[in-house]
Amino acid sequence: MNEFFAYRDGELRAERVAIAEVAAAVGTPFYLYSAAAFAAQYRRFAAAFAAERPLICYAVKANSNLAVLRLFAGLGAGADVVSEGELRRALAAGVPPERIIFSGVGKTRGEIEMALAAGIHQLNVESLPELRQVSAAAISAGRRAPVAIRVNPDVDAQTHHKIATGKKENKFGVDLDEAAAAYALAAELPGVEPVGLAVHIGSQLTGLDPYRRAFERLAELVLELRLAGLPVGRIDLGGGIGIRYRSEHPPEPEAYAALAREIFGPLGLALALEPGRVLTGPAGLLIARVIYVKEGATRRFVIVDAAMNDLIRPALYNAWHDIVPLRLPGPDALLTPADVVGPVCESGDTFAVDRDLPPLVNDDLVAFTVAGAYGAVMASTYNSRLLVPEVLAAGDRFAVIRARPSYEALLALDAVPAWLDEAAARRGGR
């Protein structure tokens, strides 16, 4: 874990908050975040780029809770959004529109219009049809749209294939060999102002080599565009820098910054960055309660009240999260293999297989570590399970920042048409 989640007097705490006390107040499962951990991650990342004074746009998709967004906005962060909902969240959290970048391969006309009306920093355009749509929306609104062309550099990010975004076969960005023509078109279209280039090759990168190859290709493109007389003032480097879940050794922010400085420093470009997971992942836990320990014929199953609908990463990506008890085991505790599973009716509802764990019994509390990114934001109500609440700890206090909804609220999302009731009444009258 880290300094923000540590055992004190044999009990796991978030900063100075006893997590077992939160569980008693809120019920399980729930997500628990450390405000100090969020701030420390952001400040370290920003300090690495202090000389460049970049626009750091937190990637809202990693963790979109309004309290988290407000915390980062207070530290000076902008926002990278990929939907109208995320744009509305960023604005509601107090992020200035001029510090918001709208990314994404499938922006609708309505989303483009809203972004233009809000006066955001830039739209990252990913195709020629989108570029023409932006032009039409800008003309209709009587505005000029600041646009960066997102380039697909055809670079293997060496990450999980479902979160790789920089190869030709991926849906993202304009192909490198077509990017110059796209930029020239942007300069010609009415209502569009091409301001720079953007790139994002994937998430959870654990090495700098893919970044180097992508950045060098973008730098060459900048020179090509300038030679053609097209101004290029900005470069958006995206995000994707990885974190440690198990045995990874991701690049340090300082090394990542040094690479960006080496390649883009001589070009005099204004930098933008879109970190997400690296800011939030290590700052969160998912807390669950053991329902049963089931001794099967060949395996031991630890069944917890969290499920794949609460944390889908293991089912979706075969992702690893350390699982630790809230009460520190004794030094002589025997570790034995167990499968940690949830109650959802899917064999895929499995968090860990043959994981060495200390003895656990019914009602024991456990924590899934490094769960602050792509946890609560990807949760669902599958099996009609209630969305998991979120809690923020700061010092010796905590607050619920998203409450667990009631079953009444869940059922109220649906509506039964009157004609079904009428049909049932007719059948009952026979």
Q: Cite the active site residues.
A: 345
Calpha distance 194→184 (Å, rounded) = 9
Nearest partner of 105 among 85, 123, 87, judged by Cα: 123
Q: Which two tokens stand for residue 156?
A: 């293997």
Whether 290 contacts 364, CB under 8 Å: yes
Give the number of other Cβ atoms within 10 Å of residue 336's Cβ.
13
The single residue listed with the structure tokens 């990693």 is 62
- Residue 200 CA neighbour count, 13 Å, CB half: 28
Task: Tell how strand 365-368 and strand 323-325 pair up.
Answer: antiparallel
Q: Terminus-to-terminus CA distance in the chain, angstroms?
A: 66
Contacts of 203 (CB under 8 A, 6+ apart): 159, 163, 165, 239, 240, 242, 276, 277
Nearest partner of 112 among 90, 130, 99, judged by Cα: 130
Calpha distance 225→209 (Å, rounded) = 25
The string of DSSP letters for 147-191 reads EEEEEE------S-GGGB--STTSSSSEEHHHHHHHHHHHHHSTT
Q: Tell which phi-psi region holds residue 231, choosing left (phi > 0), alpha (psi between -120 and 50) or beta.
A: beta
Q: Which two tokens stand for residue 283?
A: 């700052």
Report the alpha-carbon angle 329-330-331, nearest 5: 120
Whether 303 contacts 291, CB under 8 Å: yes
Greatest CA separation for the chain: 84
- Residue 179's alpha-carbon distances to 128, 200, 331, in angstroms, are 10, 14, 60
Whether 273 contacts 237, CB under 8 Å: yes
Calpha distance 42→257 (Å, rounded) = 14
Give the number of other Cβ atoms within 10 Å of residue 131's Cβ.
23
Nearest partner of 89 among 109, 108, 110, 61, judged by Cα: 61
